Structure 1
Amino acid sequence: MNSEILVNITPMETRVALVENGAAQELFIERTQARGIVGNIYLGKAVRVLPGMQAAFVDIGLDRAAFIHASDIDTDNETPKPINQLVYEGQALLVQVIKDPIGTKGARLTAQLSVPARYLVYMPETAHLGISQKIENEEERGRLRQLVQQLQEELEIVGGGFILRTAAEGIGEAELRADMAYLKRLWGALKEKMKKQKAPSNIYEDLPLYLRVARDMVRPDVEKIRIDSRENFQNTIDFVRKYNPEVEPVLEYYPGERPIFDLFGVEDELERALSRKVELKSGGYLIVEQTEAMATIDVNTGGFVGHRNLEETIFKTNLEAATAIVRQLRLRNLGGIIIIDFIDMEDPEHRRQVLRMFEKLLERDHAKTKVTGVSELGLVEMTRKRTRESLEQVMTETCSTCGGRGRIKTAQTTCYEIFREILREERAYNNGSYLVLAAQTVVDRLLDEESASVADLEIFIGKPIKFQVEPMYHPDQFDVVLM
Structure 2
Amino acid sequence: MRNTLLIEEGLFESRAALLREDVVIDLRIERAGDISTVGDFYFGRISKILHDLDVAFVDLGGQKHGFLQARDIENKGKPIAQVTHEGQKLLVQVSKDELWEKNVQLTCRFTFKGVNLIYQPLGNGITFSRKIREDTDKERIRAAAQKHLKTGGLTIRTSAKLASDEQVSNEAAFLSDQWSEIQQFQSKASKPGKFPTEKTPTSAVLTGFLSDNLNVVVNSANAFRICETYLEQAAPNMKSNLTLWNKPTSLFEEYGIEEEIERASQRRVDLDSGVSLSFDQTEALLIVDVNSSSAIKAKGINSVALSSNLEAASEIARQIRLRNSSGIIIIDFIQMNGAGDVQKVSDCLKKIFKSDPIQTRLIGMTELGLMQVTRKRTRKSLQNILTASCAHCAGTGRQDATMTSLSDLVRTLQQDIASRDGKAIRIDAGRALSQHLLQHKVLIENYLSRPLAITENADLPNNSYQLG
TM-score, normalisation: structure 1: 0.77
1:190, 1:204 within 8 Å by CA — same for their partners in 2?
Answer: no
Q: Does 1:146 align with 2:136?
A: no
Determine the C-alpha separation between the residues in 2 that align with 1:25 and 1:38: 21
1:201 to 193, 203, 210: 193
Report if the CA contact (8 A) 2:93-2:106 is conserved.
yes
Which consecutive residues of structure 2, in runs of 5 or more, have no partner in the other structure?
399-457, 463-468
Structure 1 residue 314: Cα displacement: 1.6
Q: 1:226 — aligned with what?
A: 217
Q: CA deviation at 1:108?
A: 0.5
Structure 1: runs of 5 or more not aligned: 408-469, 475-483
Per-residue CA distance 1:153-209 (angstroms, 9 max, x = gap): 644x55322222343232122112112222333322322222221221112548445
How far apart in 1 are the matches of 2:198 and 2:381? 20
Query: What CA distance in whole angstroms lies between the structure 2 residues aligned with 1:231 and 1:406?
Result: 37
Q: Distance in 1 between the 2:91 and 2:191 partners?
A: 9
Could you say what secondary structure the match of 1:178 adopts? Answer: helix
The answer to whether 1:92 aligns with 2:89 is yes
Shift of 1:124: 2.0
Greater shift, 376-385 or 56-65, is seen at 56-65
Q: 2-side partners of 1:345 and 1:153: how far apart?
A: 54
Q: Report the CA distance between 1:386 and its aligned residue.
A: 1.2
Q: What secondary structure sits across from 2:52 in the alignment?
A: helix
Contact 1:229–1:253 under 8 Å retained in 2: yes
Q: Specify which of 379, 404, 411 is matched with residue 395 of structure 2.
A: 404
CA change 1:298–1:62 in 2 (3 A) is farther
Q: What RMSD, in angstroms, separates the aligned Cα atoms of the two structures?
A: 2.7
Cα separation, 2, equivalents of 1:65 and 1:116? 24
Q: Deviations over 1:424-444 (max 9, x none)?
A: xxxxxxxxxxxxxxxxxxxxx
Check whether the contact 1:300–1:343 (CA below 8 A) recurs between aligned residues.
Answer: yes
Which structure has the larger Rg?
1
Per-residue CA deviation, residues 109-163 of structure 1 (Å, 9 max, x unaligned), is 111122333322322222232334xx52321xx44543454346644x5532222
The partner residue of 2:120 within 120, 123, 131 is 123
How far apart, in 1, do the equivalents of 2:146 and 2:459 lie? 74
1:319-330, aligned counterparts within 5 Å?
319-330=310-321
For 1:6, give the aligned amino acid. Answer: L
Secondary structure, counterpart of 1:52 in structure 2: coil
The correspondence of residues 22-421 of structure 1 with structure 2, limited to 5 A, is 22-61=22-61, 63-74=63-74, 77=76, 80-132=77-129, 135-139=130-134, 142-143=135-136, 145-147=138-140, 149-151=142-144, 154-155=147-148, 157-203=149-195, 205=197, 207-211=199-203, 217-219=209-211, 222=214, 224-306=215-297, 312-406=303-397
**CA–CA distance in 2 between the matches of 1:27 and 1:18?**
6
- Return the TM-score normalized by structure 2: 0.79
Residue by residue, what CA displacement relative to the aligned partner does 1:30-66 show, whole Å, maximum 9, x if unpaired? 1012111000111101111011111100011254420
Q: Deviations over 1:291-347 (max 9, x none)?
A: 1111110000111222699x8222221111011101101110101111111000111
**When the two structures are aligned, how many residues end up with a matched partner?**
403
The amino acid of 2:288's aligned partner reads: I
> Distance in 2 between the 1:118 and 1:472 partners?
48
| SS of corresponding position for 2:392 | coil
Residue identity matched to 1:184: S
Q: Give distance in 2, aligned partners of 1:52 and 1:212.
A: 37
Kept in 1: contact 2:299–2:307 (CA 8 A): no
- Per mean C-alpha deviation after superposition, the further-off stretch among 119-128 and 211-220 is 211-220
Paired amino acid for 2:216? I
Distance in 1 (alpha carbons) for counterparts of 2:83 and 2:317: 41
Cα distance in 2 for partners of 1:244, 1:45 equals 35
Q: 1:303 to 1:158 in 2, by over 3 A?
A: closer
* Moved >6 Å (runs of 4+): 470-474
Hey, what does 2:440 align to over in structure 1?
none
Q: Secondary structure at the match of 1:193?
A: helix
Q: For each residue in 1:354-391, what CA deviation from the matched residue of structure 2 results, as whole angstroms up to 9, or x when unmatched? A: 22112112222121111011111111101111100100
Which amino acid in structure 1 is aligned with residue 143 of structure 2?
Q
- For 2:33 and 2:282, the matched residues in 1 are separated by 25
Structure 1: how far apart are the matches of 2:313 and 2:145? 45
Amino acid aligned to 2:167: E
Does the C-alpha gap of structure 1 residues 159 and 247 become closer, same or farther in structure 2, counting only changes over 3 Å?
Answer: closer
Q: Is the 8 A contact 1:375 1:381 kept in 2?
A: yes
Paired with 1:151 and 1:351, the residues of 2 have a C-alpha distance of: 47
What is the letter of the counterpart of residue 196 of structure 1?
A: K
Aligned-residue sequence identity (percent) comes to 31
Contact 1:214-1:247 within 8 A present in 2 as well: no
Q: Is the 8 A contact 1:40 1:204 kept in 2?
A: no
SS in 1 for 2:391: coil
Report the Cα distance in structure 2 between the residues aligned to 1:61 and 1:164, rounded to whole angstroms: 35
Aligned CA distance change for structure 1 residues 336 and 260 (closer, same or farther; 3 Å): same
Q: For the Cα contact (< 8 Å) 2:29–2:205, is it kept in 1?
A: no
Distance in 1 (CA, whole Å) between partners of 2:290 and 2:266 is 15
